Amino acid sequence: MSFETALPDLAFLGDRLSTARAVLDHHRQSESHIRSRAPDAVAFPQTTAEVAQIATICTRHRMPMTGWGAGTSLEGHALTPQGGLTVDFSRMAAVLAVHPEDMRVVVQPGLTREALNTELRATGLFFPVDPGANASLGGMAMTRASGTTAVRYGTMRDNVLALEVVLADGQIIRTGSAAPKSSAGYDLTALMVGSEGTLGLVTELTLRLHGQPEAVSAAICAFPDIASAVDCVTTTIQMGLPMARIEFLDTETVAACAAWSGQTMPAAPHLLVEFHGSPDGVAEQATRFGDIARDHGCSGFHWANQPEDRARLWKMRHQAYPAILASRPGCTAIVTDACVPISRLAQAVQETRADIAATPIPGPILGHVGDGNFHAILLIRPDDPNELAIAKQLSSRMAERALRLGGTISGEHGIGMGKLSHMTAEHGPAWAVMGAVKQALDPQGLMNPGKLVPQ
C-alpha cells in the first residue's frame, strides 16, 4: 500500500497534515552528514489520541512512521529512508504537571529542555540533562541523551521515570510510575529510552528533577598537553570529587572557540569544570580540584563565580560546534562519538588525535570526559568524496578503538543510520535479540525503519 491510499484516512488532521515541499524538505534535514529522501507527508498531532489514530492508520496501510522532535540528532535518527509519514511533535510541547514535593514533572515530548527549565525557575528545581543543543525531551529520551552534566546527574536513562507510548498498532501503554523505584516486571521504561522511536512514539514523559544548587562555581584552565588534561580528569574522578561538569577541549577546539567568541585563550588543551552545592562545599571542592590540576601542570586557572561569567563560559562551550565549523569555511562535519572507561580515556584521546593528524582533514576533539565520552569534529568539504571517505574511515577506527579499550561505539549520539555497521562488533548475538524485540512490538517494521536494529 502507499501514502495515497492512507491520505483520506489522515484527513482528520486538516491543515496539520502537510505535503508542502518546504515542510517535506525541512524534515529531510538533520545535523548529520547523512542524506535521505523526504517523507511523503508530515503530521502535526496535538493529543495522544491523535497519535494513536495516526499509528492505527499507518499500520492499516503499511506506511512507515517516524517521530520528529527538534531535528538535532547526529546519526540520521529522524530521517525517512523509506519515505512514509513524519510525526512532528512540535505542537505537543506543554508542561502537563509539576510535582515539586516529589521532584518530578510530566511533559509532552515536543517540549525542549530549555523551555522546561524556564517553566521551572520559580520552583527551585531544574532538569539537568544538557546535550548542548536545545533538543526536544522526547528526542532526548529516545536517543538516551547525555551531555555536560552527566558526570553528576546522570543521563536520560537515569532521569526518565515513566512514559506514555503509542505502539505501532495504535495501542497506548504506560511504563513506569510516580514511585521512586519498582520491582514489578520488565523495565519497559528503560527499554523505550534509547530505542530511537523504533518501538513506539512517546507522547508523555515523567522526568526526575533536581534542586537548584545553592552555590555554583566554574573554572577554565589550560594544560601543557592532552595527556596532562585527561589524566587530571581521571585523577579527579578516581578521588571521588563531585564534579557537576568537566569538559575537555583540545588545542584546535580552543583556537576555534577563541576566534568565534573573540576571547583570548592560550593555544593549549583546556578543561572547563563546574561545582554545585553549598557555598562551603563548593569552595572546598574548588580548592581540591585546583591542587589536582596544578599537580598535572595546569596554568592559566580562571574561576567564574558570578552567574553572568559562568553563562559566558558555558555559552562558549555550547557554541563549540558552530565555532569549529567556522574555522574551515564552507565545510560540513562528521561528528564522532566514543565512550571508554575512565582508565583508558587518555589513551583513547591520544590515539585518536594521532590518527586524525595523519590525515589531511582537521578534526578538533572535545567532550564530556568526566564520564569517558569524547567527540572528534571531522571537517570535510561537502563536494569532496575523498575527504568524506577519509572521515568515515576515521570514524570507524574511533568506534573500533572504543571497543578495543572496553568502551562503546556511542556514549550519547545513538546509532540511527550512521553506526549500524558497528552494532554486531559491540553486541554480537545480543543485536539479534534487539531485532526480536522490535519484531514482537512492530511486526511490520513500520516504526522508524532503517535505524538501530538489524534490517
pLDDT at 316: 85
**Please, which pLDDT band fits residue 308 given cuts at 50, 70 and 90?**
confident
Q: Is residue 431 part of a domain?
A: no
Cell of 303: 574561576
Do 219 and 139 share a structural domain?
no
- Number of domains the chain is built from: 4
Do 243 and 220 share a structural domain?
yes
- The mean per-residue pLDDT over the stretch 159-170 comes to 98
pLDDT at 278: 94
Give the whole-angstrom CA distance, residue 60 versus residue 302: 61
Rounded alpha-carbon distances, angstroms, from residue 341 to 124, 262, 347, 348:
34, 35, 10, 10
For the stretch 207-251, pLDDT in tens is 999 999 999 999 999 999 999 999 999 999 999 999 999 999 999
**Please, which pLDDT band fits residue 24 given cuts at 50, 70 and 90?**
very high
Q: Is residue 259 part of a domain?
A: yes
Q: Is residue 196 part of a domain?
A: yes
Hey, CA dihedral for 71, 77, 78, 79, is it positive or negative? positive
> Domain containing 398 — which CATH number?
3.30.70.2740
Last residue of a domain, one of 71, 88, 105: 88
- Answer yes or no: are the C-beta atoms of 141 and 147 closer than 8 Å: no
Q: Which residues on neighbouring strands pair with residue 401, listed in sequence order?
A: none
Q: Is residue 292 part of a domain?
A: yes
**Please, which pLDDT band fits residue 313 given cuts at 50, 70 and 90?**
confident
Alpha carbons within 13 A on the beta-carbon side of 302: 14
- The mean per-residue pLDDT over the stretch 282-289 comes to 92
pLDDT at 335: 93
Examine the pLDDT at 140 and tell me if it is beyond 90: yes
Rounded alpha-carbon distances, angstroms, from residue 223 to 228, 234, 293, 301, 381:
6, 14, 9, 10, 31
Do 179 and 249 share a structural domain?
no
**Please, which pLDDT band fits residue 2 given cuts at 50, 70 and 90?**
low
Do 82 and 119 share a structural domain?
no
Cell of 272: 572547563
- The mean per-residue pLDDT over the stretch 331-336 comes to 92
Query: What single-letter DSSP state applies at residue 400?
Result: H
Which residues, at least 6 apart from 260, have a Cβ–Cβ distance to it below 8 Å?
A: 316, 319, 322, 323, 326
pLDDT at 99: 97
Give the whole-angstrom CA distance, residue 394 versus residue 359: 9
Cell of 79: 530521517
Examine the pLDDT at 25 and tell me if it is beyond 90: yes
Q: Which of 191, 136, 152, 146 is nearest to 412 (CA)?
A: 146
- The mean per-residue pLDDT over the stretch 307-325 comes to 88
Q: Which residues on neighbouring strands pair with residue 373, listed in sequence order?
A: 339
Q: Which of 404, 408, 446 is nearest to 430 (CA)?
A: 408
For the stretch 369-380, pLDDT in tens is 888 999 999 999
pLDDT at 202: 98
Do 306 and 377 share a structural domain?
no
Last residue of a domain, one of 322, 351, 377: 322
- Answer yes or no: are the C-beta atoms of 45 and 51 closer than 8 Å: yes
- The mean per-residue pLDDT over the stretch 289-301 comes to 91
- The mean per-residue pLDDT over the stretch 74-87 comes to 95
Examine the pLDDT at 172 and tell me if it is beyond 60: yes
**Please, which pLDDT band fits residue 126 given cuts at 50, 70 and 90?**
very high
Give the whole-angstrom CA distance, residue 119 versus residue 116: 5
For the stretch 97-107, pLDDT in tens is 999 999 999 99
Do 135 and 71 share a structural domain?
no
Of 173-182, 201-210, 304-313, the range with the lowest mean pLDDT is: 304-313
Cα dihedral 356→360→361→362 (10° resolution): 70
Q: Which residues on neighbouring strands pair with residue 219, listed in sequence order?
A: 273, 303
Residue 166: its H or E element: strand 160-166
Examine the pLDDT at 1 and tell me if it is beyond 70: no
> Domain containing 146 — which CATH number?
3.30.465.10
> Domain containing 49 — which CATH number?
3.30.43.10
Do 296 and 233 share a structural domain?
yes
pLDDT at 401: 98
Q: What does the angle CA 155 – CA 346 – CA 319 come to, to the nearest 5 degrees? A: 55
pLDDT at 297: 95
Do 60 and 28 share a structural domain?
yes
Share of the chain above pLDDT 70, in %: 100
Q: Which of 345, 351, 315, 371 is nearest to 114 (CA)?
A: 315
Q: Is residue 455 part of a domain?
A: no
- The mean per-residue pLDDT over the stretch 375-392 comes to 95
- The mean per-residue pLDDT over the stretch 244-263 comes to 92
Q: Which of 415, 409, 418 is nearest to 452 (CA)?
A: 415
For the stretch 149-158, pLDDT in tens is 999 999 999 9
Q: Is residue 175 part of a domain?
A: yes
**Maximum alpha-carbon separation in the chain:** 69
Summary mean pLDDT of the chain? 94
Do 205 and 99 share a structural domain?
yes
The three-class DSSP label of residue 377 is strand
pLDDT at 272: 94
Of 13-27, 165-179, 256-270, the range with the lowest mean pLDDT is: 256-270
Q: Is residue 122 part of a domain?
A: yes
Give the whole-angstrom CA distance, residue 238 versus residue 115: 35
Q: Is residue 272 part of a domain?
A: yes
Give the whole-angstrom CA distance, residue 283 versus residue 298: 19
User: pTM score, two decimals?
Assistant: 0.94
Residue 261 belongs to what domain range? 215-322
Share of the chain above pLDDT 90, in %: 84
Last residue of a domain, one of 88, 115, 144: 88
Rounded alpha-carbon distances, angstroms, from residue 379 to 276, 382, 389:
35, 9, 12
Give the whole-angstrom CA distance, residue 160 versus residue 192: 10
pLDDT at 30: 83
- Answer yes or no: are the C-beta atoms of 132 and 147 closer than 8 Å: yes
Do 178 and 71 share a structural domain?
no
> 30 versus 187: which is more confidently predicted?
187
Do 193 and 300 share a structural domain?
no
Do 164 and 118 share a structural domain?
yes
Amino acid, single-letter form, for residue 43? A
What's phi and psi for 25, nearest 5 deg?
A: -65, -40
